[in-house]
Homo-oligomer: A and B are copies of this chain.
Amino acid sequence: MAALQWDSIDNKAVDTARLLAADAVEKVGNGHPGTAMSLAPAAYLLFQKVMRRDPADNEWIGRDRFILSVGHSSLTQYVQLYLGGYGLELDDLKALRTWGSKTPGHPEYGHTAGVEITTGPLGQGLASAVGFAYASRFERGMFDPEAAAGASPFDHFVYVIAGDGDLQEGITSEASSLAGHQQLGNLIAIYDSNQISIEDDTNIAFTEDVAARYKAYNWHVQTVDWKTTGVYVEDLNALNNAIDAAKGETDKPSLIILKTIIGWPSPKKQNTGKIHGSALGAEELAAVKEILGFDPAQTFEVADEVIEHTRKALQRGAAAHSEWDAAFALWADANPERKALLDRVLSGALPEGVEAALPVFEGGTDVSTRAASGKVLTALGAVIPELWGGSADLAESNNTTIGGATSFIPREHSTHEWTGNEHGRVLHFGIREHAMAAILNGIVLHGNTRPFGGTFLIFSDYMRPAVRLAALMKAPSIFVWTHDSVALGEDGPTHQPIEQLATLRAIPGLDVVRPGDANEVSWAWKTILERRGGPAGIVLTRQNIPVFTRGDGEAVGDVLASARNVSKGAYILAEAANGTPDVILIGTGSEVQLALAARDRLKTEGIGARVVSAPSLEWFKEQSAEYRESVLPKTVTARVSIEAGIALTWDSYVGDRGRSISIEHFGASADYKTLFREFGITTEAVVAAAKDSLAAL
């Protein structure tokens, strides 16, 4: 590596960055100036000297990725996006944290150009960065597996800036253990160890030996201590050397522990919790400006020479991009099929042949929807190379293994059950549900492949913060949640979801999909893969349930509708006997069969019951008002919902006259048939509720 080129203008630019951060917080009156001030040199080094990026093209697939895990220090990123010419201007910095600005409190993916991922909830950025590194290796395997290390246009680095909070959160422990296990040599995290969090000195709660912990995870760990001499010296050469060493370490992720003083050089507030989360105040800010040789009377001061200097990032970026383009063109010429595959994957389109590959399950058999899902994944895996995934140590239970595929781990970690390959497509997360979700988010944000990750539905609770972030980012991560009700049986209430379906549906932008039989599973997967507007969770039974014998179209007479209707979210599975429903029975998943059985019973009593299978209310809500009215006509107010969980979701669907067959309490340990009987999830209960609803007018 060449020696670091660092001139006095760079120092001035760094000080400008510091003061822009302080000014921006001062203007809006709130925010986090301290870290942005003291991290300005490190961020500047990355953006101006280290990373291969082109400010004019934030979609360049060859770019180094940057993840600000300390999302509250968003100015660390915004100021560099301004200086480097990524699209932000001074007015954007002046509009920090105000309605409609490009500079919200935390960096938001899809909102501000150059932001790779939404961060803020601590730990998520670093955990998802591990997913970025997974994705880069997987994509390398798809598109350019033969190239020597570092010689492919698909090689690049993933840089993270993390803080004390990130290092304390459990999600990063999970993800960091996986990163070491996976030997992710292109992942480089700078840990801003400033020893200050909101409760001031972190010694109050955080005295572990972080370096030793990360070594235990198989990371390459270096410490750069800017306080080491007793005088605070922002030694950029030392940091740059550490980054070079980290880049040179290709078999381990790297942690660079950077010891900084938060808020430096604020004379009164540096090294305090105060400067972490509030404005400096006019007097203190003026003092900082004087110390740095800036005019205390000015705000948002950027010397022409500074911005001219930093905007050269555009030229350097263009040159790097152009050099890369040449290598990429060589690759494309040599690999026309892979180039076509890359183009398709980046476009988000599915390949030909997905529908033809979908398994068709024979009516009249009994199949758990998790088993059906496993068959679908193996079938689709054969035609969709960008589909990959696994589970949090529940492969056989979740049926998340694409048949015949190798495992995405270094070969040396192969076991007698699993064959590892650095470019494999079966993921093994260990018992780390939260990191799994964050890693999936990182993977989808990195390069448009379609990863999935499985666990029991109950453990979606462990994943929630990352699932919510996926929804907020509209990132199409796919979660496979099996064992979806008390019908998981003997493991008992700690493992039985009760409120999870309702509470997952409550997350704005998350598609919750609970297919009612094996053929609905096929169509559910197809629909999930066709959509890219946000995350989806597919919710599957442990127990066998009937595969319905269906017709090819809509429900007519006693002929059931085709499972193809799943994409509409809810559909008439069975029409009322005389075509005009007296009552509508709405079911999902394993409870759809109860609705069908109740329909038959009600028919014998002259009551016409329509059965609506409702695998995804989110998809249903997207349908036209006409379609929705055709499925759930306003005039039919006698309604029953059937779902083996709390009724909360269904209150608005069944209305004042409706009834819900549900479970409003925790489960118990017993076989599932006993539990369904004891908890009233039965055909009899549905019939009684239907009559009750009819009588309620």
Residues of A near any B CB (own CB < 8 A) = 28, 30-31, 71-72, 97-101, 104-106, 108, 118-122, 164-165, 168-174, 177-178, 180-181, 197-213, 215-218, 273, 391, 393-397, 407, 409, 413, 415-418, 420, 428-432, 434-435, 458-459, 461-462, 464-465, 468-469, 471-472, 489-495, 498-499, 502-503, 506-509, 646, 648-649, 651-652, 655-656, 664-666, 668-671, 674-675, 678
Contacts and interface: CB of A to CB of B under 8 A. Distances in A.
Contacts of A416: 200-201
A170 B168 contact: no
Contact of A199 (B216, B418, B664): B418
B429 A205 contact: yes
Given A216-B212, A494-B120, A670-B98, A435 B170 contact: yes
A490 B30 contact: yes
A492 B393 contact: no
A207 B674 CA distance: 41
Contacts of A507: 499
Given A273-B417, A472-B494, A495-B120, A430 B205 contact: yes
A472 B666 CA distance: 7
29 contacts: A30-B490, A71-B494, A98-B490, A98-B670, A100-B670, A104-B493, A104-B669, A106-B492, A118-B494, A165-B431, A168-B432, A169-B462, A177-B206, A200-B418, A201-B416, A203-B413, A207-B218, A209-B215, A209-B218, A210-B216, A212-B213, A459-B465, A462-B465, A464-B464, A472-B493, A472-B666, A499-B506, A503-B503, A506-B648
State the 9 A-B residue pairs at the shortest beta-carbon distance, nearest first: A170-B170, A104-B669, A120-B494, A205-B430, A173-B173, A99-B670, A201-B415, A212-B216, A651-B651
A612 to B, nearest CB: 18
Of A72, A216, A415, A669, the most chain B CB neighbours within 10 A belong to A669
A169 B170 contact: yes
Contact of A465 (B207, B215, B461): B461
Contacts of A413: 203-204, 207
A252 to B, nearest CB: 12
A277 to B, nearest CB: 8
B177 A208 contact: yes
A671 B98 contact: yes
Contact of A108 (B218, B435, B492): B492
Given A208-B216, A461-B465, A493-B108, A417 B71 contact: no
B508 A665 contact: yes
Contacts of A120: 491-492, 494-495
B200 A415 contact: yes
Given A170-B173, A212-B212, A428-B199, A498 B490 contact: no
A472 B180 CA distance: 36
Contacts of A209: 215-218
A177 B461 CA distance: 22
A432 B216 contact: no
Given A108-B669, A461-B468, 18 more contacts: A31-B490, A99-B668, A104-B493, A104-B668, A169-B432, A177-B208, A181-B205, A199-B428, A203-B413, A203-B415, A204-B417, A204-B430, A205-B409, A205-B429, A209-B216, A213-B217, A499-B503, A651-B652
A674 B104 CA distance: 14
Contact of A218 (B208, B391, B499): B208
Contacts of A407: 204
A417 B206 CA distance: 15
Given A170-B170, A431-B168, A432-B168, A106 B495 contact: yes
A93 to B, nearest CB: 14
Contacts of A498: 508
Contact of A461 (B202, B428, B464): B464
Contact of A104 (B98, B409, B420, B492): B492
Of A215, A409, A420, A670, the most chain B CB neighbours within 10 A belong to A670
Contacts of A430: 168, 197, 202, 204-206
A170 B173 CA distance: 6
A120 to B, nearest CB: 3
Contacts of A495: 105-106, 120-121
Nearest to A507: B499
A161 to B, nearest CB: 16
Nearest to A491: B105
Contact of A417 (B31, B199, B499): B199
Contact of A393 (B178, B197, B431, B458): B197
A465 B674 CA distance: 26
Contacts of A172: 170
Contacts of A502: 503, 506, 648
Of A415, A494, A499, A668, the most chain B CB neighbours within 10 A belong to A494
Contacts of A461: 464-465, 468
A100 B121 CA distance: 42
A165 B456 CA distance: 14
A202 B391 CA distance: 13
Contacts of A664: 508
Of A459, A468, A491, A495, the most chain B CB neighbours within 10 A belong to A491
A418 B489 CA distance: 49
A533 to B, nearest CB: 14
Given A393-B197, A495-B105, A508-B666, A205 B178 contact: yes
Contacts of A462: 121, 169, 464-465
Given A198-B397, A430-B206, A121 B72 contact: no
A168 B436 CA distance: 12
Contacts of A506: 499, 502-503, 506, 646, 648
